[in-house]
Amino acid sequence: MFPSTITTSLLLGSQLAAATLIQRETTQLVNSTACSNVHILIARGTTESYPGSLETLAEMITANNPDTTYENLVYPATDETTTNSYHVGKKAARKQLTSFVERCGHTDSQLVVLAYSQGAMVIADTLAGGGGDSTLGNLTAPIDYDIGKHITALVLYGDPRHAPYQPYNQGYETFNVTGKYPRSGLQVRYLTEHYGHVIHDYCNANDPVCASGTNITAHLVYPEIWDTTAAGWVQSVLDQN
């Protein structure tokens, strides 16, 4: 069970895991589509205002990479069960990823994608192919890999389509859990085979969105628990490229 309040030891454990890799400071974000050394695309969660709770993670990455810019995934982030937000988001992700490659694909600019909740579902389904669920509609094709391969690192927090037993899964006791809109086997295989090496998919135990749990608090505390760890991982990937 994931506790309703986060213990100090849990927070410290996740923070210390990456303490030697990154600065703890944050730096104000620069909203621009320029071809900077690092460019961040942020896909916020349902009902969040731009840039959402991923802002702190983006700031930590920026603090360690001064020539960094960011843009928001421009989509409604409204309830996917009663609006077309999910479908609009996939179209926007396809458009904005393609635009990045057209602008900056010939440069050394590295693309980092940060995605939370519905935003995580939108981004991952853009890469793996979407739909195939009674709520999410018919199956749709994945974005061309010639576009997707330009992603250097992808952080997913609380993905509603989280799949068990994947090598990129991160979290406490959540390796074998399934999100509320499970991906098809074909979608999971495609995502893992093509993008598994650039993904860290964080899912908290008892999160009702990614782990079929019952504690909504578990879905709301990703920044507190995982930002330092995720920023450290992103930095390690950036340093290798």
Residue owning tokens 């074998």: 176
Mean pLDDT for all residues in the chain:
91
Domains in the chain, start-ordered, CATH in brackets?
8-240 (3.40.50.1820)
Q: Is the pLDDT of residue 18 over 90?
A: no
Q: Which residue's entry shows tokens 């609380």?
A: 158
Global pTM reads: 0.90
* Residue range 215-236, pLDDT digits in tens: 999 999 999 999 999 999 999 9
pLDDT above 90 for 10: no
Q: What is the mean pLDDT of residues 3-14?
A: 36
Beta-ladder partners of 40? 70, 112
Cβ-defined contacts of 212-219 (< 8 Å, 24+): 212/177, 212/178, 212/179, 212/180, 213/2, 213/177, 215/1, 215/2, 215/4, 217/2, 217/4, 217/5, 218/2, 219/117, 219/158
Side chain identity, residue 34: A
* pLDDT at residue 12 is higher than 80: no
